[in-house]
Structure 1
């Protein structure tokens, strides 16, 4: 599947694909997965969706709306449980990343110059998302006011990042941050918030 996925990305326009992956612990309820899928479909954007299932015996399609895979065929790819994240984020076709904002995903996104839709689930992810949105300007948070985020909100943030002016601004900031991060991490030799904070402070000046 890895080779097939990369081959599919090779055929897509530059910065046109949203990568959706919520990490090893990011298993949504069936209701939330349904709303996420509908939001992606309504946005009419290209996407790669890593759909984690509730059990190894369950295929991801079980947690998606009926007909979703068929209706989005050609502009969307659904991957079961895992995708080569670094390769996808580093691909020229990838223009956005919907993520839980765990440290590894944050660092990989910053290092790839890809703006984020932040959907923090627990622990330090909320702090990471706030820093990325409010301090660095390379992310926008999903408005998670309810237990289940609705398809309208998901469509809104996806369109905002992938086709709006704010998305263009975020992409440029992400590109500049990528350059600063590469320099800081090569000198500092460690993946820590201290290093990234220094990058952000220097970049904001």
Structure 2
């Protein structure tokens, strides 16, 4: 599994920690592109300069050591806005409700997705509905390949 929240996808300090602990609980393999957490609004964080803050300083103590056999945490930046060119919430709704090829976690009353919810969704993906989701993805991939091949004929 790969996690990246894009250029403007800044997590709060609490959410950053909950996500790390949720990943750890699942015992699944992961790649996480981390950005330092920030309790400012997403737009403020996007335009602020945090290049001198090491995101590893915000991870739970010994998280990297405890997960190094199955996880990789990378401090990096990717041009997510240019890659997606879509509004994230619209994508989430389309993937979870329309296409049913993704699962969506639920935030609590404070807007924080807790580690238990993260672990529940990830376990559901890997041990529950995951097979059905992968099958739907396979069918969509095949349909897209067929559509593209028909365009090139």
> TM-score normalized by structure 2?
0.79
- Aligned partners of 1:185, 1:59: CA distance in 2, in Å? 43
1:62-110 Cα distance to aligned partner (Å, 9 max, x none): 1211110011111100010247x9xxxxxxxxxxxxxxxx79459xxxx
Aligned partners of 2:54, 2:145: CA distance in 1, in Å?
38
Cα 1:187/1:62, change in 2 over 3 Å: farther
Please point out which of 156, 159, 165 is paired with 2:120: 156
* Higher RCO (C-alpha 8 Å, min separation 6): 2
Alignment-derived partner of residue 80 in structure 1: 75
Q: Report the equivalent of 2:62.
A: 67
Distance 1:58 1:48 in 2: 20
Superposed, which structure 2 residues align to 1:181-196 within 5 Å?
A: 181-184=144-147
Give unmatched runs, 5+ long, in structure 2: 38-49
Listed as ranges, the matches of 1:1-205 within 5 Å are 18-53=1-36, 55-82=50-77, 104-105=83-84, 124-146=87-109, 147-164=111-128, 166-184=129-147
Task: Quote the RMSD (CA, aligned, Å).
Answer: 2.7
TM-score by length of 1: 0.60
| Structure with larger Rg | 2
Unaligned runs of 5+ in 1: 1-17, 86-101, 107-122, 190-205
